[in-house]
Every structure is written in C-alpha cells, then in structure tokens.
Amino acid sequence: MFKYKPNISNYLAEYAIKERFHPTTTLPKDVQLYCMAGRSNIYRTFLMYQRHIINNMVVDTICRCLTDTQIKFFLYKYKDNQTFTWISTKLDVSTSSLFIWNRDIQRDIQNMLFYNISVSDIFVPQKIINMIHILDARIDALEWGIQVGVEINRKWLQNLIDKRSCYRQLLSKLA
C-alpha cells in the first residue's frame, strides 16, 4: 500500500548527531528544580531535556569507539557539514567506505537510542557501562515522576529495569 515507509530510527539517529554538533534545543539547566512542584507539563520538559542529554551521551559513546580516521570522517560530515566526496579526497578513503561507515555509525546510535546494545558490542565494556548509566538516569527520572504523581507507563519502566539488569549481568560476566 505504501511504497515509502520512513524509518523513524534513522531520523532519530541523524537528529541526535546533528543536535550534538549544532544544538537547537535551549532548555534551562535548572528544569529539575521546577519539576519539584509536580506539574506534569514541566516534568515532560524535564524528560525532553534529559533525552537531549542522553542523545549527546550516546553520540559521544559511539565516537569514543571509532578509529582516528572514522572520527575525522564523523566530524567532517556532521560538525563541518562536508560532502562525502570532499571527505573522501581529504581522508583518502573511498566514498563507498564512507557510506558504510556512516550507516554503521547511525545503526550503533539507533541501537543505543532505543536502549539496545548490538551483538557486536557485547564485548565492548565501555558501551555497556555507558548504557547502564543512561538507563540509571532514565529509570530514576521515571520513578521520580511516579513519586510526584505523573502518569508513567509502568510496563515501559519495567522493561527498562529488566534491560538494565541484563546489561549489569553481562558486564559482571565480562569482568
């Protein structure tokens, strides 16, 4: 029926990367103080601000796991807004390789944005540790929302708690 189905996860990954280098979100740093009043619209603003911080953490985590050449590519592409052709000549890497790098980087970011770690990342302790920190922050915020009387999807919260538990077990097995 629909010939073109937009992939929302690609959009979210691209948005997180662009937002990391060219922020458009300007939320006050003391949003959490306003949330103490228990106003649900302010709490939602806090969650949006937290999502912005999580997006930055995810992008930074992925960047730390790249090679030096891939980091240069990533910065040229997303910070400096250069074309694949320009980057290809600058780094002496084929454009097809750059497209593959870009796809792989976006896929890693997509996975982490949805609180998942890919099979290839299960032996990268730094990604697991960062994912646990991200889940800790999100779970704490959601539990705090329940305490102040905001309606939270408890199944989603339990799913995040279960994932955190699995990642902790995985990390303990690697240690």
> Tens digit of pLDDT for each residue in 20-51?
888 876 555 555 455 455 455 677 777 888 88
Q: Which residues contact 122 (CB under 8 A, 6 or more apart)?
A: 128, 170
Measured CA distances, 118 to 3, 82, 95, 153 (Å): 29, 29, 25, 25
Q: Which residues contact 142 (CB under 8 A, 6 or more apart)?
A: 152, 156, 157, 160
Domain ranges in the chain are 8-174
Stretch 76-105: mean pLDDT:
94
pTM (whole model) above 0.85: no
CB 95 within 8 A of CB 86: no
Q: Can you give the pLDDT at residue 3?
A: 60
